[in-house]
Amino acid sequence: MKKLFTMVSGVLVSALSFAQQQPPQQNWHLQSKDVEKVYGTGVLKAYNELLKGKTPKPVVVAVLDGGLDTLHEDLKANLWRNPKETFGNQDLDGNGYKGDVFGWNFLGGENGQVTNESVEYQRVYYRYKDQFANVENEKEVKKNDLQHYRSWVLSKSLLKKADSIAPVDFRAKQVKDDYFNIKDRFYGNANLMGDPYFHGTHVGGIIGATRDNGIGMDGIAGAVQLMGVRVVPNGDEHDKDVALGIRYAVDNGAQIINMSFGKRVSPERKLVEDAIRYAEKKGVLLVNAAGNEGTDIDSEPHYPSPFHMKGNSRASNMITVGASGATEAGLVAPFSNYGDQTVDVFAPGVAIYATIPGNKYSPLSGTSMATPVVAGIAALLKSYYPELTAKQLKFIIEQSVTKIDFPVTKPKSGGTKVKMTELCRTGGIVNAYNALVMAEEMTKSK
């Protein structure tokens, strides 16, 4: 199998490593173990056996990503539309974002938008090099600077020979906001179709491509409205953009937020954490990717993290997702990050066929693809059981997994077999059919 794509912010990977495997069917992630004999999600079985004759209510899902093809034949019918806004340079709804009909681009400027960007450890190392280069012990660092110092130390350890020159600050040149002022939040533009919107378009299709229209592929949730929030360039996302992207989505009615991105270093982690807490208070579910380095993120954190900086408590509205394959032999994707404390569930993330720009379709692999599978199931549950809270959605999705009772191959271990419970909290693969059965039981018992 040829290399089909490149890495985007550490969460999209090439299918090259699966060249020796038999490619699964295009919609295998919608299939089930008992019917089609693959470790899919049981979505097709659920529609056939549980949902006929039932009427869903629309659910707004925000796609925090690199953009979204708002003209795609399989997406345009299911796009979120701001009811009080029109295209143009006016802010009719008074939310501070002009012409945000389909969402907002926090990587935009007056004359265009950010496409390429450096990785975070490069930015952090050179930003704080003069301040911390001579520090020998963190006890010498002021309390208010401690988080930045720790980020700098980690960044220094990640430097490569190619990092001998400070990176270009592409974002600052284009966006021109006061990056260190979270109150400076009305920047960007309404154009969601700037590179790399390839990635976000694929993610959006997995969640909510139009079902049963006879073209392309079917998304998981039929009654969905996809809100585009552009925060991820070709390179690492900036914490401020992620934080404001979450807040924008929450304030404009998103009930579920998909976050198929991540990085090793998060210098402004508190901004993102505050936004996660804000979403928690507003009852919004966040679904985020575990990452594609094949490492244990209990010991090597991947951000955004479900754990809070103070007290190490855990966000109650956040699901972290690893990637799985179709068969028992390849159940755990060899690229997927894992962690029995941090990763909640695994979901199909190998060769997932979905939308790409220009009315096209392609199979892609990554925890980026596993994450919208879970967000799609959450939207499916919410659309048929709208009374379910974010915490209940998380509980149901986690408790209804297909438990894996056989040894699986630990990523990057040389073939070592372990229990699935050593790789994620629940020890299983998400199961939409089981989740809908549990949702029915939970809502009936009220």
Residues that are catalytic? 65, 199, 368
The residues near 64 (Cβ < 8 Å, ≥ 6 apart) are 229, 231, 232, 242, 245, 246, 249, 257, 258, 259, 260, 261
Q: Answer whether 320's CB lies under 8 Å from 350's CB.
A: no
For residues 323 and 41, give the distance between their C-alpha atoms in angstroms, rounded to a whole number: 13
Quickly tell me which residue has 């299918």 as its tokens: 15
Of the candidates 440, 232, 262, 282, which has an alpha carbon nearest to the alpha carbon of residue 367? Answer: 262
Check if the beta carbon of residue 365 is closer than 8 Å to that of residue 21.
no
* Residue found by looking up tokens 């600052």 in the block: 172
Residue carrying structure tokens 């199998």: 1
Residue keyed to tokens 């906001």: 177
Burial (CB < 10 A; 0-12, 13-18, 19+), residue 278, is middle
Give CA–CA dist 221/258, Å, rounded: 14
Radius of gyration in angstroms for the set of CA atoms belonging to the chain, rounded to a whole number: 21
User: Could you tell me the sign of the dihedral formed by the alpha carbons of 217, 221, 225, 226, in that order?
Assistant: negative
| Phi and psi torsions of 64, nearest 5° | -80, 110
Tell me the C-alpha distance between 212 and 214, whole Å.
Answer: 6
How big, in percent rounded to 5, are the helix, strand and coil portions of the chain?
A: 30, 15, 50
- Which residue, among 241, 240, 268, has the nearest Cα to 147 in the 3D structure? 268
Largest CA distance in the chain: 69
**3 state SS of 64:** strand
Q: What is the DSSP letter of 88?
A: S
Q: At what angle do helices 239-251 and 269-281 cross, to 10 degrees?
A: 10
CA within 13 Å, CB half, 305 = 26
